[in-house]
Amino acid sequence: MHASLSLLCLAIFLVAFLYSTVGHAGASGYIAVMTLFGLAPGVIKPTALVLNILVASIATWQFWRAGHFSWRLFWPFAVLAIPMAFLGGYINLPAHVFKVLVGIVLLCSAFFFIFQAKNDSERGRPGRLACMLVGGALGLLAGLTGTGGGIFLTPLVLTLRWARTKPTAAVSALFILVNSIAGLLGNFSATKDFPSFGLILAAVALCGGTLGSYFGSKRFNYVIIRRALAVVLLIAGAKLVFT
């Protein structure tokens, strides 16, 4: 058990470090790792949300301090996402439904890391109503799966060229943070429980996220990192969907 916990901690540290370099808190990675270690859905969801909150807080601060954050881009996505994330966190899906849904999220995340657009340009901001509806849908998905929604917001913004990479990373970090807080509150309202060993993993993620967001908010080449993350997500996603 001690050896397994040590390996789990090491894996969580690496996920927090790698994801935070690209403005993500790492929920899909945490879920992938905990899935590969055989943890139950009732443990995975709240633990991933807590780790998300810690790492997203650091990433938000680092990217904001570096001058990349845009409130005008952020708030339309967040206004409906927050209450919908609370609702998603409150709902505890049956284990087999949770596994398939999260597996699909992980596979989509993997494809994002593989096929992320290389064109770092901006051609215009979206309408507020569209952003609010998209944000609400992503908030619900975030709460249901124990993620922050950033893994979907980031590719959407970059693919449609609503913002450049650094501002997108900064907005995604805060989007993940507020959704994760709302999702965790919803989950705790429903279960009144939190896994005790999650506090150990939280400390580990805090260290990894601090280092990763520092390098990511400055200048960091993460092409190889994206590909490595994609492999892990593909394995874990396939495990959840097909087993």
The residue-averaged pLDDT of 91-98 equals: 86
- Asked whether residue 76 carries a pLDDT value surpassing 90, the answer given is yes
Q: In this prediction, what percent of the chain has a pLDDT beyond 70?
A: 88
- Asked whether residue 132 carries a pLDDT value surpassing 70, the answer given is yes
Q: Which helix (H) or strand (E) holds 35?
A: helix 27-36
Domain that holds residue 10: 2-242
- Asked whether residue 168 carries a pLDDT value surpassing 60, the answer given is yes
The residue-averaged pLDDT of 163-179 equals: 87
The residue-averaged pLDDT of 145-171 equals: 82
DSSP state of 125: P
Question: How far does Cα 135 stand from its chain's mean position?
Answer: 14
pLDDT score for 110? 80
- Cα–Cα dist 212/10, whole Å: 14
Burial 56-89 (b: 16+ CB within 10 A, else e): bbbbbbbbeebebbeeebbebbbebbbebbbbbb
Q: Which residue has the higher pLDDT, 113 or 105?
A: 105
Handedness of CA 214, 24, 41, 89 (dihedral sign): positive
Quote the mean pLDDT of the chain: 83
Q: How far is CA 10 from CA 1, 2, 208, 226, in A?
A: 14, 12, 10, 19
- Cα–Cα dist 169/80, whole Å: 20
Task: pLDDT band for 234, please (50, 70, 90 cuts).
Answer: confident
- Asked whether residue 135 carries a pLDDT value surpassing 80, the answer given is yes
Q: Which helix (H) or strand (E) holds 82?
A: helix 71-90
Asked if residue 171 lies in contact with residue 128, where contact means CB atoms within 8 angstroms, the answer is no
- Asked whether residue 120 carries a pLDDT value surpassing 60, the answer given is no
- In single-letter form, the type of residue at position 83 comes to P
Confidence (pTM): 0.82
User: Pick from 170, 216, 197: which is nearest to 63 by CA?
Assistant: 170
- Cα–Cα dist 215/64, whole Å: 14
Q: In this prediction, what percent of the chain has a pLDDT beyond 90?
A: 26
Task: pLDDT band for 121, please (50, 70, 90 cuts).
Answer: low
The residue-averaged pLDDT of 117-123 equals: 60
- Cα–Cα dist 241/59, whole Å: 30
User: Pick from 50, 5, 65, 10: which is nearest to 204 by CA?
Assistant: 10
- Cα–Cα dist 195/223, whole Å: 34
Q: For the chain, how many structural domains are there in total?
A: 1
Asked if residue 148 lies in contact with residue 179, where contact means CB atoms within 8 angstroms, the answer is yes
DSSP state of 120: -
pLDDT, tens only, 176-233:
999 999 999 999 999 888 777 778 898 999 898 888 877 766 655 556 656 666 776 7
pLDDT, tens only, 17-59:
887 776 677 888 898 889 888 888 888 889 999 998 988 888 8
- Cα–Cα dist 13/142, whole Å: 22
